[in-house]
Structure 1
Amino acid sequence: MISNTVTLFRMGLVLPLFILLAMSGPGWIALALYLGSGLLDVVDGKIARGLGESSALGAMLDLVADRLLTLAAVAGLLVHGDLGLLAACAAVILVARCNIVASFGEALAARAALTASPLESVKIIASFAGLGLAMMPLARVPGTQIALAPVAETVIVLAAALTLVTLIGYTRQAVRALAG
C-alpha cells in the first residue's frame, strides 16, 4: 500500500528530528523535517482515501506516526533546553494526552469509540503551530520586532489548555462506556 509506505517514511523522519533538536536546538532543517512530516500526514491520508487503501493498519500507523512526531519534537526541545518551564510543562501535557487517550481506546476495546470534540482540530493546529514556531531559530524574524520564543511558548500553552479540555471530554466518554 502506497499510503502506508508514506506513513512509514514519515516515521523515519522522527529520529533525525529528535537528534537535530536535541543536539543543535531549533533550526531550519529541524523545522523542515517537522513540517515535511506534517505535510506527509496530509498526503498519506489523501492517498489512502483516493486509492481506497484505508485500513485499520493504516489508521494505527498514522496515529503512531503522529504521536512519535509530537514526542520527538517535545523531547528534542526539552533536551536542548529550548522551552521555558511553563511551556515545558505544557509540552509534556501534549505527549501525556496521547498515552491517556490510547489507554482509553485499549480499555474500551470494542465496547465504544471515543468521539472527537470540535476543539480537537483547533488543539491539533495549535500544537503543531506552537512546536513548529519553537523549532524556528530564535533570532528575531527579519524586518519585525517579534521574538519567536514567547509566541511559540504561548501557543504551546494554549494547545495544552485545549488538550486538557478535550481530555475531560474523552474521560467522561470512557467512564460512561466502562460503567455501562
Structure 2
Amino acid sequence: MGGHSSGVSDRVWTVPNILSMLRLLLVPVFLVLVVAGEYVPALVVLVVASLTDLLDGYLARRLGQITRLGQLLDPAADRLYIFAALLGLAANGLVPWWIVVVIVARDVFLLVLGIVLANHGYGPLPVHQLGKAATFALFSGVPIIMLGLAFPQVQPVSEPIGWAVTIWGAFLYWWAGVIYAIETARVVRQARVSPPPASDTLEQGG
C-alpha cells in the first residue's frame, strides 16, 4: 500500500476510486441525453452521479482510502458534468454560448497557472473555499435549469432560480480564479528568493 504520513495514498483500485471512474464513464451518456433533449433520464443520470459522489467521499474517509487519484478524479468529474450540461443545452439553443466560454475559459486559465507553478517546482494550489462554493453553485444551478426543461410545470419558478444560481456561480468561479492567480504570483516571487520544498504535494485547486 502506498500510504503517506498525510493519510493520502497512491493506490488506484479502491472502492471510492472505482465509483469515481464509473461516474466519469456516465459523462458521455449524460451529454448524449442532454443533446437529444431527453432531460428526464439526463437528470436521473445526474442524480446517480451526485449520489455516487457523496458515497465515494464518505467511503474514502470511512475506509481510510483517500488517494491522490481520487483527489484528481472527484473535481474532474464535477467539472465534466457541468461542461456536458452546458454544452448540451447550448447545442440545443437553450443557453447562450457565452456562458460555456466563460466557464471553460476559467479552467483554461487555471491550467495555465498550474503550468507556471510546475515550471517553478510546485504542485497545484490548495483548494480555496470560494472555488468550492462556485463549483457547488454551478453544479446546482445547471440542473435546476434542466429541471424546468424536464418538467415544464415548474419552469416558471425553476428557470429564474437556476439562472440566478448559475450566473452567481460563474462569477464566483472567476473570483476564485483571480485569487488563485494572486496566490500563484506570490508563490513564484517566493520561488525566486528560495527554492521550492523538496516534496510539495498540494491538493488540486477548485
TM bucket normalised to smaller = 0.7 to 0.9
1:6 to 2:15 alignment:
no
Tell me the residue number matched to 2:32. 19
Q: Under a length normalisation based on structure 1, what TM-score does the superposition of the two structures give? A: 0.84
- Do the aligned residues in 1 keep the contact of 2:23 with 2:49 (CA within 8 Å)? yes
1:178 to 2:188 alignment:
yes
Using the TM superposition, give the Cα deviation of residue 113 of structure 1 relative to its aligned residue in structure 2, in angstroms: 4.6
Residues matched between the structures, number: 173
1:162 to 2:172 alignment:
yes
Comparing 3-12 with 41-50, greater Cα deviation is found at 41-50
- Do the aligned residues in 2 keep the contact of 1:35 with 1:132 (CA within 8 Å)? no
Structure 2: unaligned runs, 5 residues or longer: 1-13, 191-206
Q: Secondary structure at the match of 1:24?
A: coil
Tell me the residue number matched to 1:102. 111
AA at the equivalent of 1:9:
L
Tell me the residue number matched to 1:121. 132
Q: Deviations over 1:106-132 (max 9, x none)?
A: 431342552433323321221111111
Structure 1: unaligned runs, 5 residues or longer: none
Q: Distance in 2 between matches of 1:13 and 1:112?
A: 29
AA at the equivalent of 1:17:
F
Using the TM superposition, give the Cα deviation of residue 7 of structure 1 relative to its aligned residue in structure 2, in angstroms: 0.5
Q: Deviations over 1:135-159 (max 9, x none)?
A: 1143132xxx834323222221111
AA at the equivalent of 1:14:
V
Q: Secondary structure at the match of 2:36?
A: helix
Using the TM superposition, give the Cα deviation of residue 52 of structure 1 relative to its aligned residue in structure 2, in angstroms: 1.7
Ranked by relative contact order (alpha carbons within 8 Å, sequence separation 6 or more), the top structure is: 1
Tell me the residue number matched to 2:63. 51
- Which of 76, 81, 95 is 2:93 aligned to? 81
Q: Distance in 1 between matches of 2:127 and 2:104?
A: 17
Using the TM superposition, give the Cα deviation of residue 171 of structure 1 relative to its aligned residue in structure 2, in angstroms: 0.7
- Which of 160, 163, 182 is 1:153 aligned to? 163
Q: Under a length normalisation based on structure 2, what TM-score does the superposition of the two structures give? A: 0.74
